[in-house]
Amino acid sequence: MAPRRRRARAVAARIGGGLAILVPIVLISSFITYWLGALSNSNPAATILGQDSATPAAVAHLNHVLGLDKPLIVQYWDWLSRAVRGNLGTSYFTQIPVSQSIAQRLPVDLSIAITAVILAVVIGGTAGTVAGIRRGGWFDRGLTIVCSAVSTLPAFVVGIILVVIFAVTVHLLPANGYVGPAQGVGPWLEHIILPALALALQLAADVARQLRTSLVAVLDQNYITGARVRGLPYRRILLRHALRNAAGPALVTISYDFPQMLAGAVAAEAVFSLPGLGQLLLNAAESRDIPVVQGLLLVVAAFVIVVNLVVNTLLAWIYRSSEGVGM
Give the CA angle between residues 201, 240, 128 to the nearest 5°: 25
pLDDT band for 240, please (50, 70, 90 cuts): confident
Mean predicted confidence (pLDDT) in 146-174: 88
Give the per-residue pLDDT at 101.
Answer: 92
Q: Would the pLDDT of 8 be above 80? A: no
Mean predicted confidence (pLDDT) in 117-142: 90
CA neighbor of 327 nearest in space, from 229, 228, 227: 227
CA neighbor of 209 nearest in space, from 240, 249, 154: 249
125 vs 7: which has the higher pLDDT: 125
SS3 (DSSP) at 97: strand
Give dist(CA 135, CA 133) in Å, integer: 6
pLDDT band for 10, please (50, 70, 90 cuts): low
Mean predicted confidence (pLDDT) in 242-267: 80
Residues of the chain with CATH 1.10.3720.10: 94-321
Specify whether the backbone of 63 is left (phi greater than 0), alpha (psi in -120 to 50) or beta.
alpha
pLDDT band for 326, please (50, 70, 90 cuts): very low
Single-letter amino acid code for the residue at 237? I
Give dist(CA 78, CA 9) in Å, integer: 38
148 vs 235: which has the higher pLDDT: 148
Q: Would the pLDDT of 9 be above 70? A: no
pLDDT band for 5, please (50, 70, 90 cuts): low
Give the per-residue pLDDT at 52.
Answer: 67
Question: Are the beta carbons of 211 and 277 closer than 8 angstroms?
Answer: no
At 302-311, the pLDDT tens digits run 888 888 777 7
134 vs 51: which has the higher pLDDT: 134
Ranked by mean pLDDT, the top range of 224-228, 246-250, 291-295 is 291-295
SS (H, E, C) 50-72: CCCCCCHHHHHHHHHHHCCCCCH
Q: Tell me the CATH number for domain 94-321.
A: 1.10.3720.10
Q: Would the pLDDT of 34 be above 50? A: yes
pLDDT band for 15, please (50, 70, 90 cuts): low
pLDDT band for 327, please (50, 70, 90 cuts): very low
